[in-house]
Amino acid sequence: MPNHIEHLVRQLTLDEKIALLAGADAWHTVAIPRLGIPAIKVTDGPNGARGVSRNGIHTSACFPIGVAMGATWNPALVRQIGEALAEETKDKGAHILLAPTVNIHRSPLAGRNFECFSEDPYLTGVMAAAYITGLQSRGVGACIKHFVCNDSEFERFSISSDVGERPLREIYLRPFEMAIKQAKPWSLMSAYNRINGVWASENRRLLVEILKGEWQFDGLVMSDWYGTYSARATHNGLDLEMPGPARWLNREHVLAALERGDLRESDLDDKVYRLLRTIERVGGFANPTPAIEQANDRPEHRTLIRRAGVESIVLLKNEGRILPLNPSQGQSIAVIGANAHWAAIMGGGSSEVAPHYVVTPLQGIRARAGEQCVVDYAIGTPIFRRLPNIDPAWVRIPASDRPGVQLDYYTDLDFGGEPVRTDTLTTLEASWFGDRIEYLNLTTFAAKLSCELLPPHTGHYHIGMSCVGQARVWLDGELVLDRWEKELMDGNEQRQTIALETGRRHRLVVEFRWPTPGNWRAVQVGLWPEREDDPIAEAVELAARSHVAIVFAGLTKEWESEGFDRIDMELPGRQNELIRRVAAVNPRTIVVLNAGSPVHMPWIDEVAAVIQAWYGGQEAGNAIADVLFGDADPGGRLPTTFPKRLADNPAYINYPGENGHVLYGEGLFVGYRYYDRKGIEPLFPFGFGLSYTEFSYDRLQLSAPMMRPDETITVSVDVTNIGDRPGMEVVQLYIHDRVARLMRPDKELKGFAKVTLQPGETTTVTFTIDRQALSYYDPAVPGWIAEPGTFTVLVGRSVADIRLKASFELVAEG
C-alpha cells in the first residue's frame, strides 16, 4: 500500500471513514476536501460510456453488445474495444466503466443475455480478461459484474439462485476467477439476487472467503444500484454502497456493527484502503478536478465498431452459396422488415447510450449496392411494443428550422416561472435515473417537451404516450392524451388517433411531472401512420418482383432488456408469417436476425440464407452490408447454443423459478454440455458459423504423450484455406476426460484461436494445455482436482464439428 494512502487512512476521522462507504449520489463517490480526497465518477457500459444523462445531452459511441463481442472469438479485438471504451469513459468525465457483464447464458429467455459474452465460462473469462486489460491499460477502471448467478431478470431483486458447489465453481464463478487473476479488475459489482438464500451484497462466503481470500482480489467491491438490503452488508465484504446517499452502510448501522463486534476497525480501514487505492489507480489524486462531459465522434472508433460488427456476424445458412451478393450484376433487392429501417443496435436498460449516429441496415445496403442495383423497402410488419419514436426528421425546435425537441425544466410542478434549464432532444423521449435529476439537484420537478411537427403525409396517425410519472400531450392546443392524475409507476401506453397535414407545422407539447422522490422516471411519445392495407402483402409483392429479398427480423430493446425476461423464443408480431410468405414467392430469400439471444426459426428450411447479426452498434448497417456483399467474410461463431425449441434448453424445467427460488437443476450441464450429454441436436451448435470459403485441418500434434500436473502440453494443428476467397476461421479446442471419479461433461472448451487466411494459405495454430485445463472442482476436498488418467484433445470448427483428435496421459505427481 502506498505510504500516502496509509497516511490518509490514519488521518481520517471515524465519521469520514463511514462517509466513504457509500456514494455521494448516483454516479460519484464522496470527497473529503479536508484531506484532498477527491470524488471519482462511474458510468454505465458495457457497449458504450453513457455519462450522467440518459437523454443524449452528450452522445456516445455505441459498440456491439456483449454477446456480439463474444461471437467474435477475438480477444485481441475485444482488448482494442476496451481501449476505445477507456477514451469514451474519459469523455464523460468518468473514472470507472461499469463493465464487463460476465454472467452466463443459462436460458435463452434471460433478459440480459445480450450483455453477456457466452454460455461457456472459458470463452467468457477470456473475453472478460481482454476487455478489462484494454480498459485499464488506458487508466480507466473496470467494474466486473454481476457477482454472481445473476442469470435472469425474473424477481431479480429477491430471487435466490440455488446452485450446487460444482456448477457454482466451474460454471458461474469461473469466468470471474479467470478475469480477476489474469486482468486484475480494479472493482467488482455484487449482484441483486441471493445465492443459496444469502444476498450477494452481504454474502460473506463469496465476497470475503472466495473473492478477497482465495482469489486475493485487492479491488473495490460495490453494490449494484439499490442492491443492498440489510445492515449485514456492513460487515460481509461490501466496500461501497451505490448509489448514495447511504441506506445501510451509514453511520447508524456501521457504528452498531463496530459496537457489536461484527465489524472490526481493521475491516473498516480495509474498505477505505480499497476505495483510496481505486482513486489512486484511476488517477483521481493526480487529477482531482472533475472533467466536464463531452461527445467526441472519433473516426478510429467508427472503424473499430464496424470491424467488430463484421467479426461478430454469424452466417448460419447459405444454401446454393446465395451469399455474398454481387452488386455488379445489377440486381433488384427487396429490403423488408422494421429492423431494416429502425435499426436495433443495442438492448434495453442500463447499457443503453445515445449514439453519435446510427447507420441502419437499409442505409448500409443502399450505400454499398450502388447505382447498378435497385433497392426498394417495405416494412412487412411492425414489431413495436410501443409506437415508435417520432422520426427526428419530422420535428423542429419551436419557431425555428433547427431539428430537435426543446426540453424545459421547472421547479414548479405546474410550470410557474421561468425554466431553470433548457436542453435539446432528438425526439419525444426522455428518462431520468437517480434520487436527484442530473445537473439540477432536484428530487421533484416538471418538464415540458415542445416541438413543431412536420408530417410527411396528410392523414390519420396513431399517437401514443407511456410514462413513469404524470404526463399529458397537447396537439395544436388541444389535449389529446392525459395521464396527469394517474399513478406514477404505470408505464402502460395510452393511444389516440389524430389527423395531421403535410406542409403544416403542428405544435406538439408534452407536459411531465414527478411530484415525489424516486429513482426512475420516463416519458415517451410515439407516432405511427394509420393504414388500411396489409403491410405484409405489400412486402410480398415487392419480394415477388425482386431478384433477391432480404428480410430483417428479430427483436429490439423493447423485447430484450434489463428488468424482464422474454416469455418465449418466438419472434414478436407476424414476423414468422412475413418470412414464410416472402420465401414462398422468392427462393432467394435471406433472413438477417437482429437479436441478442436465440429465436425460434420455424421457416429455416424455407429460406436460402440466414445471418445472425446481433445488435451491432452504431455501424451495424455498414457491417451487415460488408458481409452481405462479400467485402468481408462473416467472422462470427456462435458463443451460445441455438436450440430447435425452448423445451430442449437445459434450464427449461426450472425456469424462471417459484416462491423466491430458482433451482439450477441442470448443474454442470449448461449449454452445449447438456446437448452433448443428452444427445439432443440443436438447431445450431455452440461455436458454429459458416464462412464464404472452406478450411481443412491437418497434422494434429501433441508435444508429449504424457504430462505431470506441474507441466504443460503444446497442441498444434495446421489449418488451410482450401477455397478461393480470403476467410476467417475460429479453431476450437475441447478436452474430454475419459474416466473421472466425478461426473464431467463430454467436452469442455479450453482453447480457441481466430485466424485470417488467404486462398491456399496454411497456418499452424498452437495451444497450451495446463493443469487447470484438466481440472474439475471437488467439493469433498474442497478444491480443484486434476485427476490422473487419459485425456482426449478434440479440435474442430464447433463443438459438433470435430475434425481431429489425439490423446495423452496425465500422470500422478512423483
**Is the Cα torsion angle 702, 704, 707, 712 positive or negative in sign?**
negative
Is position 224 annotated as part of the catalytic site? yes
- Count CB atoms within 10 A of the CB of residue 532: 5
> Cell numbers of 294, please?
463531452
Alpha carbon of residue 568 to chain centroid: 19
> Cell numbers of 529, please?
401512420
Q: Respond yes or no on whether the N-terminal peptide bond of residue 100 is cis (omega within 30° of 0).
A: yes
How would DSSP label each residue in 228-272? --SGGGGTTT--BBSSSSPSSSSHHHHHHHHHHTSS-HHHHHHHH
What is the distance between the alpha carbons of residues 231 and 706, in angstroms, rounded to a whole number?
A: 53
The three-class DSSP label of residue 338 is: helix
Task: Using alpha carbons, select from 51, 457, 622 the residue that is nearest to residue 291.
Answer: 51
The active-site residue out of 25, 224, 239, 737 is 224
- Residue 798 CB contacts under 8 Å (≥ 6 apart), including other chains: 637, 638, 685, 686, 687, 688, 689, 732
> Cell numbers of 530, please?
394509420
Indicate the DSSP class of residue 208. I
Contact between 24 and 39 under an 8 Å Cβ cutoff? The reply is: yes
Which residue, chain included where needed, has cell 459498440? 63
* Rounded-to-5 percentages of helix, strand, coil across the chain: 25, 30, 45
> Cell numbers of 455, please?
408530417
Task: Using alpha carbons, select from 128, 108, 131, 129 the residue that is nearest to residue 119.
Answer: 108
Contact between 740 and 787 under an 8 Å Cβ cutoff? The reply is: yes
Which residue, chain included where needed, has cell 451505490? 242
CA distances from 633 to 66, 177, 626 (A): 21, 34, 8
What are residue 209's phi and psi, to 5 degrees?
Answer: -70, -45
Which residue, chain included where needed, has cell 460473506? 204
What is the distance between the alpha carbons of residues 420 and 448, in angstroms, rounded to a whole number?
A: 12
Task: Count Cβ atoms within 10 A of the Cβ of residue 316 and give its class: 0-12 exposed, 13-18 middle, 19 or more buried.
Answer: buried
What are residue 423's phi and psi, to 5 degrees?
Answer: -125, 170
Contact between 485 and 470 under an 8 Å Cβ cutoff? The reply is: yes
Contact between 657 and 159 under an 8 Å Cβ cutoff? The reply is: yes
Task: Using alpha carbons, select from 70, 180, 190, 163 the residue that is nearest to residue 119.
Answer: 70
> Cell numbers of 493, please?
401506453
Question: One-letter amino acid identity for 621?
Answer: G
> Cell numbers of 438, please?
442530473
* Interstrand relation of 395-396 and 445-453 (parallel, antiparallel or unpaired): antiparallel
Task: Count Cβ atoms within 10 A of the Cβ of residue 172 and give its class: 0-12 exposed, 13-18 middle, 19 or more buried.
Answer: buried
What is the distance between the alpha carbons of residues 260 and 256, in angstroms, rounded to a whole number?
A: 6
Catalytic residues: 224
